[in-house]
Structure 1
């Protein structure tokens, strides 16, 4: 028996999978996962000695929806201490010793300067989680992601299992900032942050009126952040793994799964509290956004965003483009009618007719189609010239007005929104 166990461990430690990326994946953790592991949680860490113990304690204290403790045999946690100059790795190892039944694996490495970024580390961790779940065989597995400065809700894993069981290929959870740290922000920064969150929620509500996602129905939110998302290990492989970018790797991965036509759920059940510090470890993250708000507040300048009119126009055009693409795939319209509708759509989207036609012909999923259209809009700049950015306060007021009008009187004009609003 001992010999068989040793052989299994040796075989596991030598096995490499490419996770769909075409590149060998180095083995980070030699001991194999327990046979009943369903979820592999990855936690990238860089100098998080002040928060890491709370992060791990939250993961160790998981319960189901009836408040029964989750069995440690069903999930594991992979911590990667990346180029730390504090006691983060030691804290994680000590936590593992104090909680021997908790399936916690700690990796500590010093990466070359050019590779010591969150995109590389999250990819290494997710590749390792994929390798481990794949080794278990036919049993479906889930890769979940959080951060060393974040605390998952006590039902976080239960929520992940629920959403995946309901058919989601990937789930973005609701991420909120730590109340005490948020309260410590200056008044202008805090107000700007809350306005930004409100603006994004209003856009989501307008989207529910004009172009609702057939799978991701309300109540939901807009977030898919590194501190709080999950994906099936099969979808992770189909997406080609985590894109190797230095920052905003979560955004790049989200775009990759949407492009594939994955069923993505923005779950209100899956909640994480993260740091509200204005100085972060990774550029272009929440800390950078808060720092930007802080600077604008000091200058008494407004944060500029896409106008409500532009958001509404984009969602309406997207709805009609979705309908055209789906109808063309099932029953192509008459050439004259198709040309007329395409010309109209190209005008609404500020994209050349030939480029729009090519995007429709080449796109395998509607998500890929939308991304191609967005790329043309960004490259050509006609959309931005048509719709100038406005102060966020103006956009919020206008979004509220448009939502109230649609809810009270219904749609007007030739362009009509989807049913349900």
Structure 2
């Protein structure tokens, strides 16, 4: 729980931005200035009473809090709350910092409120809040923003980083072709992480909230949303620009460490391996078949289910029991996808080869192949129908 009493939320406020900040005095001003200067789509200043900003200066030994307060004084129309805490060593991590703020936002905001997160070294696009609000107005329950890394002198990681972005974008297109989503249509991106992720107050509470982890807390939170069938919308108009700084501030796997590893791979002339085209097709075919089996409560005669069972080294009966016992489709698909991703057999192509395969396939459309593997679109349940129990789905 936040250890200070914040001013009451404004009656018109429906959007709370949360920012964890530990020794971020050198980066925080541009972050807050971008939030204080948000625009509507007609180019006018976004009504500042619609949103507030919460900065948690945790375990700082620099002027982070002072910088935040100076920006708050310079932009008095925008409610910028600055909270200072010294967390015990066992709790001093980004997951706990995010959880404290997001739990507080869930307590403060009214029904229908939106809780957003970004980072202290990230500058949001001028239309970031407006674009996020628009996505929620169209029915989203979570929205991930496109995370861009401006070139700031470092070039050692950029080759593999750009390959990674290209590959993941093409995979997102392939998924749209095989398993189209009305809620998250093409064009879309593929990211829903800490620098830009927003969630409805109701979905945040239903998911159990932010996991208090020392690293990958944002990914774990996205998995928690997936387990309750909340799929993030990936609107390209929601964009942020994040730092490519070298940092060892967080234990575990981080974006900074990924950039460092890519830079090392370039230097050593090593190449990452990823899922090739056929394995991507298999993954999305299995997703479609699993959804049908989940809602029909049986595997029936779906060929993809039998090939999935064989890949997982399960009998069809064992896989059917797994499907029937799942409480949500999201939890079912997440568990099976993570099991597939832990195997090394699916990673069989370098970026160069995988990108070429995906580009050729998606450009051609391969409609006969797609028609053969895609069941009726009615297999996707209406995302507006929420809260039904597993047994209520016929």
* Alignment TM-score > 0.5, same fold: yes
Structure 2 unaligned segments of length 5 or more: list them. Answer: 378-394
Report SS of the residue matched to 1:76: strand
Judge conservation of contact 1:77–1:104 (CA < 8 Å) in 2.
yes
How far apart, in 2, do the equivalents of 1:233 and 1:339 lie? 38
How far apart, in 1, do the equivalents of 2:311 and 2:375 lie? 17
Q: 1:103 to 1:41 in 2, by over 3 A?
A: same
Equivalent in the alignment of 2:322: 359
Q: 1:412 to 1:317 in 2, by over 3 A?
A: same
Q: 1:123 aligns with which of 84, 89, 99?
A: 99
How far apart, in 2, do the equivalents of 1:413 and 1:162 lie? 31
Spell out, residue by residue over 1:311-362, the C-alpha distance to the aligned partner (whole angstroms, 9 max, x if none).
Answer: 1211122222223333x15xx68xxx45987534423665443442122112
Equivalent in the alignment of 2:181: 213
Report SS of the residue matched to 1:389: strand
Q: Mean alpha-carbon deviation: is it higher for 287-296 or for 207-216?
A: 207-216
Q: 2:258 aligns with which of 271, 286, 289?
A: 289
Equivalent in the alignment of 1:70: 46
1:246 aligns with 2:214: yes
1:224 aligns with 2:196: no
How far apart, in 2, do the equivalents of 1:393 and 1:117 lie? 37
Report SS of the residue matched to 1:242: coil
Judge conservation of contact 1:142–1:232 (CA < 8 Å) in 2.
yes
1:55 aligns with 2:35: no
Deviation of the 1:281 alpha carbon: 3.1
Structure 1 unaligned segments of length 5 or more: list them. Answer: 1-24
Larger radius of gyration: 1
1:411 aligns with 2:368: yes
Structure that is richer in helix per residue:
1
Judge conservation of contact 2:293–2:323 (CA < 8 Å) in 1.
no
Q: Mean alpha-carbon deviation: is it higher for 409-418 or for 198-207?
A: 409-418
Judge conservation of contact 2:285–2:304 (CA < 8 Å) in 1.
no
Report SS of the residue matched to 1:231: strand
Report SS of the residue matched to 1:44: strand
Judge conservation of contact 1:314–1:349 (CA < 8 Å) in 2.
no
1:393 aligns with 2:352: yes
Q: 1:96 aligns with which of 58, 62, 72?
A: 72
Deviation of the 1:289 alpha carbon: 1.0
Q: 1:51 to 1:358 in 2, by over 3 A?
A: same
Equivalent in the alignment of 1:166: 138
Judge conservation of contact 2:189–2:235 (CA < 8 Å) in 1.
yes
Judge conservation of contact 1:28–1:128 (CA < 8 Å) in 2.
no
RMSD: 2.4
Taking structure 1 as the reference length, what is the TM-score of the superposition?
Answer: 0.83
Q: 1:152 aligns with which of 110, 124, 132?
A: 124
How far apart, in 2, do the equivalents of 1:390 and 1:290 lie? 20
Equivalent in the alignment of 1:142: 114
How far apart, in 2, do the equivalents of 1:38 and 1:340 lie? 47
Deviation of the 1:236 alpha carbon: 0.4
Mapping of 1:300-319 within 5 angstroms? Answer: 300-319=269-288
How far apart, in 2, do the equivalents of 1:350 and 1:315 lie? 19
Deviation of the 1:213 alpha carbon: 2.9
Report SS of the residue matched to 1:171: strand
